[in-house]
Amino acid sequence: MKRVTILIIPDGASTARQFHLPGFVVKFASLAGMIALSISGFFVIDYMELVKLRHNVRTISAENEGLKGEARILENNLEDVKRSLRRVNDYAAKLSDLTQLRVRSVSKKTGIGPLSMEEYQRSTAQDLRQKASGTYLPVGLNLDKLAFRTAFDRLGSLGSDAEKSAIELQQLLSNMSQHQNMLSSIPAVNPVNGWITSGFGRRISPFTGDQAQHKGLDIASPIGTPIFAPADGVVVFTGAKEGFGNFIMIAHGYGIVSAYGHNSQNLVQPGQAVSRGDQIGTVGMTGRTTGPHLHYEVWVNGRTVDPKRFILDMEDNSSI
């Protein structure tokens, strides 16, 4: 193509104007138009992408603000849980102190202590260290790159506190269970309604008139008065014993054994488990005696002790 002719005919004119354009000018103009169209299309597409990106940024920004709000709520909830855990720890500590105080008082009074907790404490301490060394993040997550690192840090601390509280409460429950067993094994109530006519210790024997060691309490009461077990235990002997007539012995654990003599009837059998308050016999005058009464003994680790040390309603037991 050598050239292009352009005719321009104005309205009402009798002649036309002609413009002759070289072929290379037409080609250049066409190429320039295509380039301009392409550039315009690129800018239009880019503008549309910018509009879309701007919309996405706004959406992400709104979601980010929402996540920040949720993170603040999460942290506040974690703080509430931590405060609750602290209250649990305080209550557990106070309960432990009260329990230990109670047991120490009874132990001081009676000379009987709870079972050793050393092995249990060592095992629970080791368990706590193992659990505390664990992670509270899913495998593969980098703590340093987390958006809510503070929340995860607090979650880890909260998890460790929760494990520690659970173990301490478990230990407290175990302690309380052992203390309950110990307290239920102490002959803490009077085995019969009556009045003491002869106490524990040295006295003048009503049979010989000489000084003699009296190994228990003589509690006077009418024949047939019920005799009750003063603590939980297992009957280890029931039958006749020289000088004491019908005789009963109960093993309570922790080295404690109680004995009951001069009974009219023995109402239990060897091997029978009894609970505090169960009737085991009735008051009588069997054996060598000057009147109806119960001869009551308490043994601790093979030695007789004053039963009044254990009975709660005795006036000298006010410190328990």
pLDDT > 50? residue 318 = no
Contacts of residue 93, defined as CB under 8 A and 6 or more positions apart, other chains included, come to none
Q: And the tokens for 299?
A: 């043994």
155: nearest Cα among 75, 67, 73, 70: 75
**In the chain, domain spans:** 3-64, 83-185, 195-317
Does 2.70.70.10 match the CATH number of domain 195-317?
Answer: yes
> For residue range 81-134, what is the model confidence (pLDDT) as tens digits?
777 777 777 766 666 665 665 666 666 666 666 544 444 445 454 554 454 444
Q: Note the pLDDT of residue 251.
A: 95
Helical residues (DSSP H) of the chain, grouped into ranges: 23-110, 118-132, 149-185
> For residue range 127-174, what is the model confidence (pLDDT) as tens digits?
544 544 444 445 554 555 555 556 666 666 666 666 676 676 766 666
Pairing outcome for strands 273-274 and 233-241: antiparallel
| DSSP letter assigned to residue 254 | T
Cα separation, 9 vs 15, whole angstroms:
7
Average pLDDT estimate for 290-311 = 91
Vertex 259 angle, CA 274 and 263, to 5°: 90
Altogether, the residues listed in the chain come to a count of 320
Cα separation, 118 vs 124, whole angstroms:
10
Higher pLDDT pick, 125 / 272: 272
Q: Containing H/E element for 280? A: strand 279-283
Q: Note the pLDDT of residue 136.
A: 47
Q: First CA to last CA across the chain, in angstroms?
A: 125
Pairing outcome for strands 211-214 and 279-283: unpaired
> For residue range 216-242, what is the model confidence (pLDDT) as tens digits?
999 999 999 999 999 999 999 999 999
pLDDT > 90? residue 279 = yes
Q: Note the pLDDT of residue 317.
A: 34
